[in-house]
Amino acid sequence: MAVKNSTYIRRNWQLYLLLVLPVIYFLVFKYGPMYGVQIAFKEFNFFQGIGGSEWVGLDIFREVFHSNDFFKALRNTLLLNLLDLIVSFPAPLILAIMLYELRIVWFKKFAQTILYIPHFISWVIIGGIVLQVFGTESGFINNMLTGMGLDAIPFLSNKNYWLVTYLLVGVWQSAGWGTILYLAALTGINKELFEAAEVDGAGRFKKILHISLPGIKTTIATLLIINLGNMISIGFDRPFIVGNVAVRDYSEVLSTFVYRVGIESGQISLATAVGLFQALVGLIFLLAANYASKKLADESIL
């Protein structure tokens, strides 16, 4: 404030120059599509474009809410996310505590290196691996089962087995990577606490229970809340790749539904309306989660 505007600009114009292209990027590629959201309220026609298409009010949404496929996709999204939360959420926590307790430094580093790798593999490739491992005809696990005289398990074609496969693959892909934040938090715990506990005669389990876990409880709470906030948003790649026609009843989630209805069947308005519904509900979930984390853990995500 003490500095005059002209001096301020002269001194800092380069900073604003650096902002020009990124800001244009965000306006065009992030806010541009928001303009397109209006086609959820229009009968979209490619020739007339976004602006020229006719307004139809809430008709499209009425159509969405009368569609069984939509509700199935919504249910699956919530179901898969909830199961993922139960199965995949504790995995990195347990793994991180075990890694933290490792005393051989080279082994610890080696373990981390290997455990992170699946996170860097594309879902397309994981899809290929899943077929090789879980396939009914020539899958590795079923080969072993039939080799032992047991029946093959339809991991990919039976709905319930598919759910298990989907969850296992998720744990496999993300558990190692998920340890990073917990390990960071564990490293931040004051070492003297462990020494004091040792003097008091606490064993390893006692130390984990009374020092490690409480020491990272805000990290756990924050990640849990973020997960809850993302209940309705779901990535496209994993259900799209791991899913197949036989298990569509469970594998069709909102993101794949929008893709199929919009891009494949060309029902642009309907797909936009579903996407908008998902974005709005997601935003509400997220704000609620943020509010909750502020109250509970005194930590805000936003």
Partner 1 sequence: MSERTSNRIFDIFNVLIITFVILLCLMPFIHIIAISLSSTRPIMSGLVTFFPREFNINAYTKVFSDMAMIRSLGFTIMLTVLATVLSMVMTIAVAYSLSKKDLRGRKWFMLIIVITMFFSGGIIPDYILVRNLHLLDTVWALVLPGLISPFYMIILISFFNSIPKSLEEAAEIDGTTHLGTLLRIILPLSLPSLATLSLFYAVGRWNGFQDALMYINRPDLYPLQLKLYQMIQNNQVSELMQQEGLGMAQLMPESLKAASVVFSTVPILIVYPFLQRYFISGMMVGAVKG
- Copy the structure tokens of residue 261: 């209805």
Q: Would you say 123 and 241 are in contact if contact means Cβ atoms under 8 Å apart?
A: yes
Q: How far is the CB of 57 from partner 1 (least distance, A)?
A: 19
Q: What is the number of other CB atoms lying within 10 angstroms of the CB of residue 120? A: 8
Best CA proximity match to 179, nearest among 235, 121, 219: 219
213 lies in the site for partner 1, by CB under 8 A: no
Best CA proximity match to 253, nearest among 276, 228, 274: 274
221 lies in the site for partner 1, by CB under 8 A: no
Binding residues among 31-50 for partner 1 as defined by CB under 8 A: 31-37, 39, 49-50
The helix (H) or strand (E) run that includes residue 217 is helix 217-229
Q: Would you say 232 and 285 are in contact if contact means Cβ atoms under 8 Å apart?
A: yes
246 lies in the site for partner 1, by CB under 8 A: no
Q: By C-beta, is 83 or 145 nearer to partner 1?
A: 145
> Looking at 26, 48, 196, 209, which residue binds partner 1 (CB under 8 A)?
26
Binding residues among 127-156 for partner 1 as defined by CB under 8 A: 127-129, 131-133, 138, 140, 142-144, 146-147
Q: Would you say 224 and 293 are in contact if contact means Cβ atoms under 8 Å apart?
A: no
What is d(CA 117, CA 113) in angstroms, rounded to the nearest whole number?
7
Q: By C-beta, is 185 or 247 nearer to partner 1?
A: 185
Binding residues among 86-115 for partner 1 as defined by CB under 8 A: 95, 98-99, 101-104, 107, 111-115
Best CA proximity match to 258, nearest among 10, 37, 84: 37
Q: How far is the CB of 107 from partner 1 (least distance, A)?
A: 7
Q: How far is the CB of 228 from partner 1 (least distance, A)?
A: 15
> Looking at 120, 148, 151, 191, which residue binds partner 1 (CB under 8 A)?
120
Question: Of the listed pieces 59-67, 69-77, 79-87, 175-183, which binds partner 1 according to CB under 8 A?
Answer: 175-183
Question: What would the x/- binding string for partner 1 be over residues 275 to 294, using CB under 8 A?
Answer: xx-xx--xx--x--------
Best CA proximity match to 253, nearest among 241, 268, 266, 264: 241
- Copy the structure tokens of residue 194: 């462990």
Q: By C-beta, is 23 or 82 nearer to partner 1?
A: 23
> Looking at 61, 70, 89, 123, which residue binds partner 1 (CB under 8 A)?
123
What is d(CA 128, CA 132) in angstroms, rounded to the nearest whole number?
6
- Copy the structure tokens of residue 171: 């744990």
Q: How far is the CB of 54 from partner 1 (least distance, A)?
A: 16
Q: By C-beta, is 53 or 76 nearer to partner 1?
A: 53
What is d(CA 270, CA 41) in angstroms, rounded to the nearest whole number?
9
19 lies in the site for partner 1, by CB under 8 A: yes
